[in-house]
């Protein structure tokens, strides 16, 4: 049985005027290039950023109540993670976010969650935590392991550290 993907996630932001350009720039490299509006259940504007001819969208709507910034330890969303095709693209997203003035919580670098887990954690203009992560395929790990073994052998031949 195939795993069903999440169809969409709606985020509540303090200002669509501020957040929409941020998310358009941030998610464009991941293929979120289509923008469409609907009217929400309370008459509010909801803007969806979606990928061309694929499932999955991120919706943005302005808040009606609540805190001025996100509290990821209150009931609700802690963070939202996006899968990224390469380590290089994680780096490009981090550079874009930095140039846009976003807070970089950590990364981009490798984390020990799973082998090869490479990510950057950033905060959107309202403090919502976003993660952009690349997890290598098994073949990528085999190539990486072979390169590390070759480097270790080279160091041992040079009289460097041995294991």
Predicted confidence at residue 59, as pLDDT, reads 96
Distances (CA, A) of 119 to 31, 51, 78: 18, 21, 16
Domain with CATH 3.10.180.10 in the chain: 76-163
Q: What is the pLDDT of residues 125-161, one digit of tens each?
A: 999 999 999 998 866 666 777 888 888 888 888 886 6
Smallest CA-to-CA distance from 98 within 65, 121, 129, 75 is with: 121
Query: Residue 78 and residue 129: Cα distance in Å, rounded?
Result: 7
Read off the tokens for 79.
Answer: 């963070």
Provide CATH 3.30.720 ranges for the chain.
1-64
Read off the pTM.
Answer: 0.81
Cβ atoms < 10 Å from Cβ of 132: 27
- Options 1.10.8, 3.30.980, 3.30.720, 3.40.50; CATH for 1-64 is 3.30.720
User: Going by DSSP bridges, is the β-strand pair 118-123/129-134 parallel, antiparallel, or unpaired?
Assistant: antiparallel
Of residues 124 and 151, the one with the higher pLDDT is: 124
SS3 152: helix
Mean of the pLDDT values across residues 117-130? 96
Quick: pLDDT tens for 74-111: 878 899 999 999 999 999 999 999 999 999 999 999 99
pLDDT of amino acid 132: 97
CATH code of the domain occupying 76-163: 3.10.180.10
pLDDT tens for each residue of 56-71: 899 999 998 887 788 8
Per-residue confidence (pLDDT) for residue 148, from 0 to 100: 85
């Amino acid at each position: 049985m195939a795993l069903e993907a999440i169809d969409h996630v709606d985020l509540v932001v303090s200002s669509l005027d501020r957040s929409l350009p941020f998310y358009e720039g941030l998610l464009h490299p991941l293929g979120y290039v289509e923008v469409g509006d609907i009217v929400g259940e309370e008459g509010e504007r909801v803007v969806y950023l979606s990928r061309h001819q694929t499932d999955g969208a991120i919706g943005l709507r302005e808040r009606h109540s609540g805190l001025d910034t996100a509290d990821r330890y209150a009931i609700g969303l802690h963070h939202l993670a996006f899968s990224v095709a390469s380590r290089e693209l994680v780096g490009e997203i981090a550079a874009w976010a930095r140039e846009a003035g976003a807070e970089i919580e950590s990364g981009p670098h490798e984390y020990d969650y799973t082998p090869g887990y490479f990510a950057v954690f950033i905060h959107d203009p309202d403090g919502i935590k976003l993660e952009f992560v690349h997890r290598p395929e098994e073949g990528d790990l085999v190539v990486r392991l072979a390169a590390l073994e070759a480097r270790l052998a080279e160091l041992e031949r040079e009289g460097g550290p041995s294991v």
